[in-house]
């Protein structure tokens, strides 16, 4: 009798252990794919815009948004990864459209900056997002953090200033575009919290992307025609010269959607805090890989500045969690 009970206990214990291992493997796979898609789209953007002669950041962003629109629809309507949420009013549509325009501005600014700046420095500037988020939250919602939390932002900004002084490939226009994109990204996150604050209007990130992407494509089309009028002829020409041109564009666009999808899945199966920690590490990994791939020169001053910024971001996240 006792032997049978022990066997049953061992059986269920083994099942629980096996289930836990599968869950760990699943989450680990998600994180690896998330890293791959995020870093991959960043490096492919740099390669296309700086090394491949494809100098059309607005059109590239429109390709990304087109892929996001199509694949979001397939994922939600056909694959049913998440329940479809409907826009319930004209007011809600206008709010989503506003978020879409701000989001587009941040993505375009980031892509333009990659034409002029190394990925390593681009990531250093992008790491200042918490500074701008705290700034906009204070200005727009009067939300105050503990003084020690604001103090943690000092090394975030100081590190970028140091990295700028030690960056051999520093370019003023690229820097302005990069800092503007970073500020726009932070502004969008704060604005989203304000505009979609009521329970009836909240959308998960997958549904928000479903509605923002088509709006972005419609907004980008006339801008592309006016600002990048020769994009079709040059792209066709590049397609004839480089047989992998169209494949690179397709992979790049699909990876842009994958980054958003995996961002949602990693948050769902772990936590927002885990995503923040992984994001900090992702920036460092992207910097190392980009330096190895593109061979852009770096200085000790630049590395030191970026390290200070990353440590400041980590300290900011920790103090914000403790003094919430």
Grouping H, G, I as helix, E, B as strand and the rest as coil, residue 199 is coil
- Closest C-alpha among 23, 11, 41 to residue 290: 41
- Which two three-digit tokens encode residue 97? 């459209």
User: pTM of the prediction?
Assistant: 0.86
Q: Write b or e for each residue in 190-207: b if 16 or more Cβ atoms lie within 10 A of its Cβ, otherwise e.
A: bbbeebbeeeebebebbb
Q: Write b or e for each residue in 70-92: b if 16 or more Cβ atoms lie within 10 A of its Cβ, otherwise e.
A: bbbeebbeeeeebeebebeeeeb
Predicted pLDDT at 17:
66
Q: Are 233 and 55 a contacting pair, CB within 8 Å?
A: no
Q: In the block, which residue shows the tokens 């397709």?
A: 250
Q: Are 115 and 49 a contacting pair, CB within 8 Å?
A: yes
Q: What is the mean pLDDT of the chain?
A: 87
Grouping H, G, I as helix, E, B as strand and the rest as coil, residue 19 is helix
CA pair distance 324, 61, nearest whole angstrom: 36
Q: Are 296 and 52 a contacting pair, CB within 8 Å?
A: no
* Residue 283 CB neighbours (<10 A): 21
DSSP 170: -
CA pair distance 251, 67, nearest whole angstrom: 10
- Residues of the chain under the 70 pLDDT cut: 1-17, 271-277, 324
């Amino acid at each position: 009798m006792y032997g049978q009970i022990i066997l049953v206990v061992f059986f269920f214990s083994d099942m629980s252990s096996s289930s836990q291992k599968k869950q760990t493997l699943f989450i680990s796979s998600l994180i690896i794919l998330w890293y791959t898609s995020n870093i991959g789209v960043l490096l492919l953007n740099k390669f296309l815009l700086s090394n491949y002669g494809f100098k059309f950041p607005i059109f590239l962003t429109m390709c990304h948004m087109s892929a996001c629109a199509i694949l979001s629809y397939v994922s939600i309507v056909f694959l049913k990864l998440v329940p479809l949420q409907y826009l319930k009013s004209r007011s809600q549509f206008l709010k989503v459209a506003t978020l879409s325009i701000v989001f587009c501005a941040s993505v375009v600014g980031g892509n333009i900056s990659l034409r002029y700046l190394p990925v390593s420095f681009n990531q250093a500037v992008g790491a200042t997002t918490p500074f701008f988020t705290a700034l906009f939250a204070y200005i727009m919602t009067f939300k105050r953090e503990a003084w020690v939390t604001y103090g943690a932002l000092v090394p975030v900004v100081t590190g970028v200033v140091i990295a700028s002084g030690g960056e051999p490939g520093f370019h003023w226009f690229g820097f302005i575009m990069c800092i503007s994109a970073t500020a726009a990204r932070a502004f969008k996150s704060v604005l989203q919290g304000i505009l979609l604050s009521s329970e009836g209007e909240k959308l998960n990130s997958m549904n928000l992307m479903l509605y923002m992407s088509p709006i972005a494509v419609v907004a980008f089309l006339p801008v592309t025609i006016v600002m990048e009028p020769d994009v079709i002829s040059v792209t066709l020409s590049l397609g004839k010269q480089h047989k992998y041109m169209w494949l690179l564009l397709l992979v790049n666009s699909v990876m842009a959607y994958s980054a958003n999808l995996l961002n949602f899945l990693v948050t769902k199966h772990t936590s927002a805090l885990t995503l923040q920690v992984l994001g900090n590490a992702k920036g460092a990994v992207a910097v190392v890989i980009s330096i190895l791939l593109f061979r852009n020169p770096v200085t000790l001053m630049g590395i030191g500045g970026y390290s200070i910024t990353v440590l400041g971001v980590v300290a900011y996240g920790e103090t914000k969690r403790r003094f919430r």
